[in-house]
Amino acid sequence: MSSNVKKIALNWIDENEKLLIKAHDEIWEYSEVGLQELKTGKLLADTLEKDGFKVERGVAGMPSAFIATYGSGKPVIGMMGELDALPGLSQKKVPYKEPLVEGGAGHGCGHHGYAVAALGGALAVKAAMVSGKTRGTIKCFGCPAEETLVGKVFMVRDGVFNGVDACLGHHPGSINSSGLRSGNAMNSMKFEFFGQPSHAAGSPEQGISALDAVQLMNIAVDFMREHVVQEARIHYVIEDGGHEPNVVPPYSRSWYYVRAPERDLVDQYYKRILKIADAADLMVGTTHKVRFLTGVHNGLANKVLAELTVAKMREIGAPTYSKEELAFAKELSKSIPREQKKVALSRGLIPDADDLMDVDLNSKIYDPFGEQVRGGGGSSDVADVAWNMPTQQFSTVAFILGSPGHSWQNAACSGTSIGHKSTIFASKVMAASVIDLLIKPELLQEAKDEWKKKMQGRVYKSPLPADLKPPLDQLERQ
């Protein structure tokens, strides 16, 4: 039965490949930044609704967020789609740096592929369900603003994921696998300092520089970095530092991310930074406000689900590449120094990293790995879903080996037929994995048992205050 049901789903993807590639390309071209993905969200939600899904739009106070549901009863399996692009990464589909729109946004993290893999997986599973050979409920989640860690954490807090038994997501990458690294917990906040304007040359003694307060705060935090766990990451930008040099800046604003491998460590470091902001006021004479934007937990990978998705990859078979695609990848790789690629492969923990220096597109499929690593440089709001149900992301090749995350190289590569193959492959893996979870109760129970074991001694508490609203204005400057 299982093979027949999956065959229906996989055949649907083959027959509707053009539809999925068209959605992939359109979202790549939209390249909408977080919480502004209105065209992206509408395209996905309209497509699902047209195919018979019940769609609820604007969930959790975010215009682009949606939940699309098909079926009834248990089990309930979720598929996450991320929607947002990155500011400043506009790029043509060429193997050299050339913006499509000067200063515009681009999909340097591949979320157009993330979104369409959820779309393709959901539509394909629905086609199998219509055959009457499988039952249950599937939910496709349109999740905005992952890059600023907003979408899913607000959706979790507001109950959008309630009742889901397990959840899967697909993130484009440079290998075919399903990672087990946890990632870092994080807080995001802005500091606004208020001073007193004055002529910087004629009457400097009457001014109170808000920029001085921001700079002193930043210096103190830089010294603090030496005294946190090595996996922690604390970084900031100055969003507003004043205007003309002859006016003492009366207002200045910084934006901070505080990351650490456990949620309680983030809370500790956040409190220390709040005290540093108070100290800056004392030194300069300013006042300040703190605007908390969002926060997330560290991730909880699920090995049962990871092994499931990798098994489906092997059943389906990884894509192969044409001479033209290999030539594009080779030319693109010239923009990445070999020393940089070597470090990237090493940091990525790929088991055969030493053998991949001369490989651009890696068609291998790897067993899940990275479980032994504590934390990780990045963070994801997928973590807050994972603290509430068995959850796992898998990866398929959309980028060349060694390309940096959030890069023009990724935007270029994932916009080509290389990216198309990644998305179609991921849609098939998503559909096949979800079908197994729907028709094999013992498999779903294994994933739940693993999740329960990892949650022993942990209690999920949203990092968001109950009255906090999504920061819809956070990227107005973009």
Q: Are 302 and 196 in contact, with CB atoms under 8 Å apart?
A: no
Nearest partner of 109 among 418, 426, 313, 398, judged by Cα: 398
pLDDT of res. 478: 40
Confidence of residue 473 (pLDDT cuts 50, 70, 90): confident
pLDDT tens-digit readout, 406-461 = 999 999 999 999 999 999 999 999 999 999 999 999 999 999 999 999 999 999 99
Nearest partner of 434 among 123, 187, 25, judged by Cα: 123
Helices 303-316 and 417-439 cross at an angle (nearest 10°) of 120
Q: Are 76 and 163 in contact, with CB atoms under 8 Å apart?
A: yes
Q: Are 155 and 60 in contact, with CB atoms under 8 Å apart?
A: yes
Mean pLDDT of 87-107: 97
Tally Cβ neighbours within 10 Å of residue 103: 9
Q: What region does 230 belong to: left with phi over 0, alpha with psi -120 to 50, or beta?
A: alpha
Nearest partner of 184 among 448, 380, 10, 349, judged by Cα: 380
| C-alpha to C-alpha distance for 157 and 297, rounded to whole angstroms | 13
Confidence of residue 225 (pLDDT cuts 50, 70, 90): very high
Mean pLDDT of 162-185: 95
pTM given for the model: 0.94
Q: Which amino acid is at 161?
A: F
3-state secondary structure of 76: strand
Residue 475 clears pLDDT 70, i.e. is over it: no
Query: What H or E segment, with its residue span, contains residue 47?
Result: helix 38-50
Indicate the DSSP class of residue 423. Answer: H
Indicate the DSSP class of residue 59. Answer: G
Mean pLDDT of 14-28: 98
3-state secondary structure of 292: strand
Q: Are 361 and 346 in contact, with CB atoms under 8 Å apart?
A: no
| C-alpha to C-alpha distance for 163 and 154, rounded to whole angstroms | 16
In 97-145, at which residue ranges do the beta strands (DSSP E only) sit? 136-143
Count of helices and strands (H, E) across the chain = 14, 10
In 162-283, at which residue ranges do the beta strands (DSSP E only) sit? 166-173, 185-194, 233-240, 251-260
User: Which parts of 225-347 fold into alpha helices (H)?
Assistant: 263-284, 303-316, 323-333, 338-347
Q: How confident is the prediction for the chain on average, in pLDDT?
A: 95
In Å, what is the CA distance from 12 to each residue of 18, 53, 67, 271?
11, 16, 22, 52
pLDDT tens-digit readout, 351-396 = 888 899 999 999 999 999 888 766 667 899 999 999 999 999 999 9
The whole-angstrom distance between residue 79's C-alpha and the CA centroid of its chain comes to 14
pLDDT of res. 477: 46
Q: Are 156 and 470 in contact, with CB atoms under 8 Å apart?
A: no
| C-alpha to C-alpha distance for 113 and 184, rounded to whole angstroms | 23
In 174-250, at which residue ranges do the beta strands (DSSP E only) sit? 185-194, 233-240
3-state secondary structure of 330: helix
Q: Residue 436 — φ and ψ, nearest 5°?
A: -60, -40
Domains and CATH numbers, the chain: 2-183+298-454 (3.40.630.10), 185-296 (3.30.70.360)
Mean pLDDT of 300-326: 98
Residue 49 clears pLDDT 70, i.e. is over it: yes
